Structure 1
Amino acid sequence: MAASALSPSKPVRDVCDYDLLFDCVHCGLCAEACPTYVVTRSEMDSPRGRIYLMKSLAEGRLELDDDAARHLDLCLGCRGCETACPSGVHYGRLIEGARSFIERNHRRGLADRIKRRAVSAIFPYPNRLQTILAPLKLVDRLGLRPALRAVMPRTIRDWLDLLPPLEPGSRPLANGATNSPQANAPTVVVHHGCVAQVLASSENLNSERLLAAAGYRVVRLEPTACCGALDLHSGNASRALDFARANVRALKNSGADAIVSAASGCSVAIAEYGDLLKDDPEFAADARAVSARVRDLSSILLDAPLKPKREFRSIVTYHDACHLAHGLGVREAPRKLLASIPGVTMVEMTESDLCCGSAGSYNLTEPAMARELARRKADNIVATGADYVVLANPGCEFQVAAELRRRQSKIKVVHLADFLAMASQ
């Protein structure tokens, strides 16, 4: 990181919301909550170090070189530091601003550019993702994925490992509502996301069926646009705003009283539309109204608990998806819901809220750090002796399941909605 002689008295570059940097008092309480600092023990890979780096870049005291970009790229955006911070630093906003600055002003290596552009061009668009995965569905149907994996280069092999089995009918569906909801029943819409509707459609369907059984009238969005989280995390602010506007319009028109997503990252993105679009005169008011209606599936279902038809005897541990725990502050509701199922024994894992390394597309762009965190998470899961690890985000599911498959572990990784579906059969 090359230093500059420019004065630090005021910002000379639009790196992030400069005023927010001064909320940090440099106490360091965030460090042990930061996955990358826990692994590297490098100050520049801690939230405090990255905030110092952003401030130095903004004030022109450092130049944006490969080293500076690397420390900022390595952040998972998990926001564990926000939970630990006594000063209320809005680190998520800061790192998203810095990522956008990097994309505008830094030229990455060729391989990194190709990888990031592939992710950006495919994952936010379900139709494109479905088209690309169509041959793999046939491969899975024929049981040939191990053979395909054996002949692929390492990067493609690692990406293949993250994909769940694509054969149809591999996940159970919850029973539908036994009674038609009342005409005056509250309405709910499940945002199907982009990747989730292709790779984890059962989680969306089970969410809708469980909500219907709880007495809600379920309305649908057709079609569902990407929430914009992938772009916010990777620095493509312009397209993230376009996705946010499309979703605000669609969610407003749905008339739903509550908005739910089976992907916690999507939930947080939608919950923050009010802030993201606060300066847009056409969308600001509607964005605030939409954000205020975001709810978590487990919190809603606690009001009308699932009544399983049979005892579901199993040992279950729960992984806190980062954005659910740190973005929405939801920790206890999923645990209470799981513990209410007859036969379920809950066992807490160590570091349940430490990031698993998925972080949207992070495990595709930063595979080494993602794999290290996956190993750490899997160690903690295995130590519980659980039959199931339940979580509330598809990305976490794919990441943790891939690592457990590598170990040939029998522990099953299941999304909360799918687990409740199994318990209600």
Structure 2
Amino acid sequence: MAEPSVTSSNPVRDVCDYELLFDCVHCGLCAEACPTYIVTRCEMDSPRGRIYLMKSLAEGRIELADDAARHLDLCLGCRGCETACPSGVHYGRLIEGARAFVEQEHRRGLVDRVKRGAVSAIFPYPNRLQTLLAPLKLVECLGLRSALRAVMPRTIRDWLDLLPPLEPGSRPLASGTTIAPRADASTVVVHHGCVTQVVANSENLNTERLLAAAGYRVVQIEPTSCCGALDLHSGNAARAGNFARTNVRALKNSGADAIVSAASGCSVAIAEYGELLKDEPEFSEDARAVSSRVRDLSALLLDAPANPKREFRCRVTYHDACHLAHGLGVREAPRKLLASIPGVEIVEMPESDLCCGSAGSYNLTEPAMARELARRKADNIVATNAEYVVLANPGCEFQIAAELRRRGSKIKVVHLADFLAIASQ
């Protein structure tokens, strides 16, 4: 591949924020932090290669052919490269812009269009997802999920495998005495997300209960709109903006001092509303204020007055959800919180911050690469001999749990909020 020009020229296509491309110094330190490059060893599947590709598209030196779109599609958007980059390249913004360009300019195959269209039409809307899953809940209550799986086409079967148990009471809820908040107690709102509130709502409820028990005043917003992360990752910037505006209004009106989400991808999306809406005078100031209030559950619980914890003897390993580690820079707080529980032994897994392959809806649209990364993650988990894998993102939970089930593993995959609920019982 020819070396790109070191000076910017005028772009002929609006592929992404063109000037941001020149922050990259092509050192290649990002490559070994990139899950797709680790698997394929293809330069164009590395962040540096994709930046070359974006620049070439923007300058009109290449056309948006199927292979170019494929290299961009294969990116997980995990942002591990941002952590590794010494030059501060805003790769997340670049790939989101490039994804929007691909969606506008590239004609996908029929099967790909159907898959992506289904995700886009259903997942950001809890009522639609709830309606779609209602028959499956009945099938599961009758104990027929395995029989249903056996007669489904492979694509539907793979999607079905990612769903957690749906029967009522399958997840524990935190118990214990709630501390009456002081008059000056900080207020916290938990953004319930779209998919999470349908298939893993215990994570929202436990988050609220844990915060209330720690002395925070928990406030509500109704209804909760999708944060827009799925659309940002898939190139639908217009609808992501609509969701962002709705959430900015609701979160501002809540008056909360802190904003928490059980899904780390949602947390990062909200934390970046200030950037997303920076050119809209009606929303820019409020968006920046909302973004500045995003916090992580573990950090808030560590900041609260220490509460006596029951002993819970178990061996735990912790998986760093991509957007929590690379987007918000939260790594140590969850580990400190787990270590504060008497009896908990934490065992670090290799490559704890390498993407598991979930990446929002990536495991639905790119199942082959997602499965390869799930296998790698499961290998590292099994090697720890842990009883629990704790994490802070429901998508990671579903992805990792599906792979461990395929292996017949008894290792439990649990969201941090649900694990704290288990430990308190």
Q: Aligned ranges for residues 274-313 of structure 1 at < 5 Å? A: 274-304=274-304, 307=307, 310-313=310-313
SS of equivalent residue, structure 1 residue 329: coil
Q: Which residue number corresponds to residue 158 of structure 2?
A: 158
On the 8 A contact 1:308/1:424 being kept in 2, the answer is: no
Cα distance per residue 1:313-372 (max 9 Å; x no partner): 000000000000000000000000001100000000000000000000000000000000
On the 8 A contact 1:306/1:424 being kept in 2, the answer is: no
- 4+ residue runs over 3 A deviation: 305-309
Inter-partner Cα distance in structure 1 for 2:367 and 2:20: 30
Inter-partner Cα distance in structure 2 for 1:175 and 1:284: 40
Structure 2: 5+ residue stretches without partners: 2-7
Cα distance per residue 1:128-185 (max 9 Å; x no partner): 0000000000111111111000000000000000000000111111125433212221
Paired residue type of 1:175: S
On the 8 A contact 1:176/1:212 being kept in 2, the answer is: no
Inter-partner Cα distance in structure 1 for 2:210 and 2:82: 32
Q: Which residue number corresponds to residue 4 of structure 1?
A: none
Instruction: Tell me how large the CA RMSD over aligned residues is.
Output: 1.3
On the 8 A contact 2:309/2:341 being kept in 1, the answer is: no
Inter-partner Cα distance in structure 2 for 1:51 and 1:305: 46
Inter-partner Cα distance in structure 2 for 1:271 and 1:226: 14
Structure 1 position 267 matched with structure 2 position 267: yes
Paired residue type of 2:129: L
State the Cα distance separating 1:31 from its structure 2 match: 0.1
Inter-partner Cα distance in structure 2 for 1:22 and 1:122: 37
Q: Which residue number corresponds to residue 416 of structure 2?
A: 416
Q: What is the TM-score when the length of structure 2 is the normalising length?
A: 0.97
Inter-partner Cα distance in structure 2 for 1:221 and 1:18: 37
On the 8 A contact 1:177/1:209 being kept in 2, the answer is: no
On the 8 A contact 1:307/1:424 being kept in 2, the answer is: no
On the 8 A contact 1:319/1:390 being kept in 2, the answer is: yes
Q: What is the TM-score when the length of structure 1 is the normalising length?
A: 0.97
Inter-partner Cα distance in structure 1 for 2:178 and 2:14: 55
SS of equivalent residue, structure 1 residue 390: strand
Q: Which residue number corresponds to residue 347 of structure 2?
A: 347
State the Cα distance separating 1:307 from its structure 2 match: 4.0
Structure 1 position 16 matched with structure 2 position 16: yes
Q: Which residue number corresponds to residue 90 of structure 2?
A: 90
SS of equivalent residue, structure 1 residue 76: coil
Inter-partner Cα distance in structure 1 for 2:143 and 2:44: 45
Paired residue type of 1:167: E
On the 8 A contact 2:310/2:341 being kept in 1, the answer is: no
Paired residue type of 2:22: F
Inter-partner Cα distance in structure 2 for 1:204 and 1:179: 19
Q: Assess, with a 3 A threshold, how the Cα gap between structure 1 residues 341 and 131 changes in structure 2: closer, same or farther.
A: same
Q: Which residue number corresponds to residue 78 of structure 1?
A: 78
Paired residue type of 2:257: D
Q: Which residue number corresponds to residue 127 of structure 2?
A: 127
Paired residue type of 1:54: M
SS of equivalent residue, structure 1 residue 330: coil
State the Cα distance separating 1:103 from its structure 2 match: 0.4
Q: Which residue number corresponds to residue 231 of structure 1?
A: 231
SS of equivalent residue, structure 1 residue 281: coil
Structure 1 position 254 matched with structure 2 position 254: yes
Structure 1: 5+ residue stretches without partners: 2-7
State the Cα distance separating 1:311 from its structure 2 match: 1.3
Inter-partner Cα distance in structure 1 for 2:333 and 2:210: 15
State the Cα distance separating 1:91 from its structure 2 match: 0.1
Q: Which residue number corresponds to residue 337 of structure 2?
A: 337
Structure 1 position 170 matched with structure 2 position 170: yes
SS of equivalent residue, structure 1 residue 188: strand
Structure 1 position 315 matched with structure 2 position 325: no
Q: Which residue number corresponds to residue 29 of structure 2?
A: 29
Q: Which residue number corresponds to residue 244 of structure 1?
A: 244
Inter-partner Cα distance in structure 2 for 1:156 and 1:29: 38
On the 8 A contact 2:179/2:214 being kept in 1, the answer is: no
SS of equivalent residue, structure 1 residue 380: helix
Q: Which residue number corresponds to residue 359 of structure 1?
A: 359
State the Cα distance separating 1:303 from its structure 2 match: 1.4
Paired residue type of 2:274: G
Cα distance per residue 1:380-409 (max 9 Å; x no partner): 000000000000000000000000000010
SS of equivalent residue, structure 2 residue 115: helix
Q: Which residue number corresponds to residue 199 of structure 2?
A: 199
State the Cα distance separating 1:36 from its structure 2 match: 0.1
Paired residue type of 1:253: N
Inter-partner Cα distance in structure 1 for 2:91 and 2:75: 11
Inter-partner Cα distance in structure 2 for 1:191 and 1:307: 25
Paired residue type of 1:211: L
State the Cα distance separating 1:309 from its structure 2 match: 5.1
On the 8 A contact 1:9/1:59 being kept in 2, the answer is: yes
